[in-house]
Structure 1
């Protein structure tokens, strides 16, 4: 009778503890995210895939970006960065699936363009960005990641907050460069931080706790 309570507490604590995340995986995600952003910047000035039937120029960068977001979400999920509540963790899983689906739709649309694949690619892109804003709020709210990384996911995916008012006030011609520059800067900042400071995610702490 007296041993049941400690066992339940131990199990509860184990369930709430972060999963093991090797710092090398966090660094790899940061490096991949940085490469995707550099490719994105290149596609702003170089026509790397000039197919007139497809949206083309930014296709590879868009696919790389969405894959990098999926990798970031794996870290978020495995470190309980949004907390251990099932609803928050389910949101992370849904966002990761959306990122993979979006990257797949983007690839298919550029290989065999159609109205259907274009619609799916556009829809998943905006659903993913909306989900990532909420995930960013969850990371800030939970406080599992240490500053400044705690705030970077929300900052990196807050581009609609910048783009929409800029489009209304300044028009598409001015808003697009503003959006592109903002997206590049904040996403690059997130990528570099993951690359150089994986410990801010708790990855190193989780490994130490497991070893102990």
Structure 2
């Protein structure tokens, strides 16, 4: 008779298996969820405050939502780094580092807006505020590179380009159709683009 002993699984193992969130099979689950929550939070805040908040309370809500979205973008950049989504060379690593810095500076602008510190009459604040659109433009270019590189397969190869076209879709919509339509486009695009991308990222494997 053969007797074998198997060690009892650690509590963390049981929890991971029970939730179906093993870091071995879905290492980017947290990254994707943060991106999705951030996109939905910003879209929700924007739906109530508009694109240009008029009151202090609205400004705080808008800053909180957009700030959480920016945190999600940083998690997305970390996923791109770990999967070498835009390439393995030095240039690809530099691009992701530069974009991470741009997003971080945009987050500083968001925080300043929420605290009511921003003064657009001063050059320094204007330059800091510019990192918001610049960071979004950078993500759009990264989305193009993901599609060209082809290291992500299937729908995940193309969906980053859909999500990261937020600025290049929303801004023209505002200019052509006005604030009402632009507002709807901005909110809807976040849900269809970044929120869905977060779901796709959460299911990615190494």
The TM tier, using the shorter chain, reads: 0.7 to 0.9
Name the structure 2 match of 1:94: 98
1:112-151 correspondence to structure 2 within 5 Å: 112-115=116-119, 119-151=126-158
- CA deviations on 1:12-45 (whole Å, 9 max, x unpaired) are xxxxxxxxx9655411011111111221233134
Name the structure 1 match of 2:188: 181
State the secondary structure of the residue aligned to 1:90: helix
1:18-37 correspondence to structure 2 within 5 Å: 24-37=26-39
Q: Pairwise CA RMSD of aligned residues?
A: 2.6
- CA deviations on 1:129-153 (whole Å, 9 max, x unpaired) are 1111111111111111111111121
Task: For structure 1, list consecutive stretches of 5 or more residues without a partner in the other structure.
Answer: 1-20, 204-212
Runs of 4 or more above 3 Å deviation: 21-25, 44-47
Name the structure 1 match of 2:172: 165
TM-score by length of 1: 0.73
Verify the 8 A CA contact 1:73 1:92 in the aligned structure 2. yes
Mapped partners of 2:172, 2:117: distance in 1: 31
1:80-91 correspondence to structure 2 within 5 Å: 80-91=84-95
Verify the 8 A CA contact 2:86 2:146 in the aligned structure 1. yes
- CA deviations on 1:166-204 (whole Å, 9 max, x unpaired) are 223312222121122112211111011112x222xxx1x
Change (3 A) 1:112 1:52: closer
Task: For structure 2, list consecutive stretches of 5 or more residues without a partner in the other structure.
Answer: 1-22
Mapped partners of 2:43, 2:57: distance in 1: 22
Give the count of matched residue pairs: 178
TM-score by length of 2: 0.75
Mapped partners of 1:29, 1:45: distance in 2: 24
